[in-house]
Amino acid sequence: MSKTKGQNLVVGASVLALAGLIAKILSAVYRVPFQNLVGNTGFYVYQQVYPIYGIGMVFALSGWPLFVSKLIAEQNGDPLKEQLVARRMFWLLVLISVGLFLLIYGAAPVIAILMGNDTKLTGVIQAVAWMFWLMPFLTIGRGFAQGKQDMLPTAISQVIEQVVRVTVILVAAYWAVKHGWSMYLMGAWTTFSATLAALAASVFLISTLRQVWHDRLPADLRLAPNFNWRHLLGRLLNEGGLLAMIAALLVLLQLMDSFSVKVLLEDSGLQATMAEATKGVYDRGQPMVQLGMVVATGLGTSLLPTLRLHLLNENEQAFKTDFQMTTRLSLLFSVVTTVGLVAIMPALNQMLFGSQQGSTALAWYSLTIIPATLITVLVSTLQSFNRTKGLAWMISLTLLCKFGLNILFVPMWQINGASVATLLALVPLTIFTIWRIPSGLWHKWRPANWYFKLIGLAGMIGLSARFSYILGRLWFGSSRLASVEQTVLAIMFGLVVCIIMLRLTNILSIEEWLALPHGKKFYDRFIKRRKNAIR
């Protein structure tokens, strides 16, 4: 592979990673003003149906487009073959999309009953079903461009989709509150935002989609066995389905909650309205986890294109070095982020959502950042060299574990139990992904005393943040404004201690500093200066 082509691959993948990071931030941040507008019950209505949208979004954004891009890349630059594959995948996806729409729209009353016997959710579920009509346009437009190493259409369409969706959601929520709509009518409009957003992204992708139907294809090419309809459908369901399951893991876990938590809360003795509000409190944890994973997964995602390039260049040593660095950095930042969130959770909860209700459950939920981040990085590594055998079964087992643990824990511990269930359900999958990574990549993957340094660093950050939170509560009081001051104070204390501990422990190597945004500047100012002073 030429140097220019390799550089284009890394730059393109980095652009895609940056767009994904922006979309994740938007997807997490909008929930705060949204919940503030509609309250716990309104948040419950939206979050009950959100996983259905989330699954469709993953299909159209990362799961199936990645598979389509792989098919396009297999054609070795032959434009006629590329167009044929893309066209046939489009019509197969149309068939699947129609089936999904009819299933979700037609079975909405049944799904609503399964989601806690709340028949008023029927219209909300039907509103989100319309987005599946646009899935073929999004998948093929993005996948075709990615297969030709053009990441911009996917990146820009992803940001457009999120901006439109978030805008419609917040406007609909404001309008609903101002005009006294029911929470379910509000929910229908906010979930229909997914369709409007997908339409906007599809319009942007028109120029890419035109390339798919640019040429007239010869009859002998259409009869080639590699392009047989049944063959392509089999690959779409097997390979593409696995990629979609991997990308949708956290959303699928949320779907398990939608089907079980409210019912189990009622079984524990709560009235239906209280169970809905409590589930809404529990749902606060999802944007917190998304935000908590932004730094760690963004870091890992930005380095993973380099891993793919090393693989293509057959540079095993560079692959091993960068894999180990990615894993260390992702684990370090996920642990530090989680400890910080847990330490200041009551203040953060009140600052963002107006009360400290459910802070213990949210603290437990935040712990899922660590296994979820590791799974994201390790699965992406496994995908880079097609070592994904058994992942589909393990994801299915994870979902079954989540559902079963909810049944066991929620009646006893309510939403605390649901959070613990999510954390425990991810443990077997984390162990499996670690085991599937070739043992050679783990050889000497961490320096001496690295775990002790990590525990010391995280412990000191957690203690300092918690101490400053307690101090801030004594100084500022317990109002919502005070919680803002407490949170800012705790973050400042935590950052100062983090910098001091990074200097004392030297847990990051020079190469790891240089891999971080502005890392060289930070290293020269704080770490290198200290080493010179010691000499």
Tell which residue, 321, 320, 413, 427, has the closest CA to residue 372: 427
Identify whether the C-beta of residue 26 lies closer than 8 Å to the C-beta of residue 291.
no
What one-character-per-residue DSSP string does 454-471 give? HHHHHHHHHHHHHHHHHH
- Would you state the pLDDT for residue 257? 95
Identify whether the C-beta of residue 452 lies closer than 8 Å to the C-beta of residue 504.
no
- Would you state the pLDDT for residue 452? 94
Question: What is the C-alpha separation between 178 and 172, in angstroms, rounded?
Answer: 10
Please report whether residue 145 resides in a domain: yes
Percentage with pLDDT > 70 across the chain: 90
What one-character-per-residue DSSP string does 208-258 give? HHHHHTSSPPPHHHHT-GGG-HHHHHHHIIIIIHHHHHHHTHHHHHHHHHH
Domain count across the chain: 2
Question: What is the C-alpha separation between 516 and 336, in angstroms, rounded?
Answer: 15
- Would you state the pLDDT for residue 301? 54
Domain boundary residue among 181, 202, 227? 227
- Would you state the pLDDT for residue 298? 60
- Would you state the pLDDT for residue 255? 92
Q: How far is CA 328 from the centre of its chain?
A: 20
What does pLDDT average to in each consecutive run of 10 residues of the chain (535 residues)?
A: 48 65 78 91 92 83 78 82 90 93 95 91 94 92 84 86 93 93 93 93 92 78 75 85 81 93 92 93 89 66 62 79 85 92 94 93 95 87 80 93 96 95 96 92 87 94 93 90 92 90 87 75 69 47
Question: What is the C-alpha separation between 406 and 312, in angstroms, rounded?
Answer: 43
Q: Indicate the angle between helix axes 3-29 and 31-58, nearest 10 degrees.
A: 130
Please report whether residue 50 resides in a domain: yes
Q: How many residues make up the chain in this entry?
A: 535
Question: What is the C-alpha separation between 396 and 212, in angstroms, rounded?
Answer: 35
- Would you state the pLDDT for residue 443? 87
Residue 455: both structure tokens together: 């525990």
SS3 82: helix
Contacts of 118 (CB under 8 A, 6+ apart): 48, 112, 262, 272, 276
- Would you state the pLDDT for residue 345? 95
- Would you state the pLDDT for residue 366? 95
Please report whether residue 26 resides in a domain: yes
Please report whether residue 201 resides in a domain: yes
Domain boundary residue among 227, 258, 292? 227
Domain range enclosing 151: 1-227
Round the average pLDDT of the chain to a whole number and report it: 86
Please report whether residue 168 resides in a domain: yes
Please report whether residue 410 resides in a domain: no
Domain boundary residue among 197, 227, 257? 227
| Cβ neighbours of 399 (radius 10 Å) | 18
Which amino acid is it at 369? I
Please report whether residue 330 resides in a domain: no
In the DSSP assignment, the letter for residue 175 is H
Please report whether residue 348 resides in a domain: no
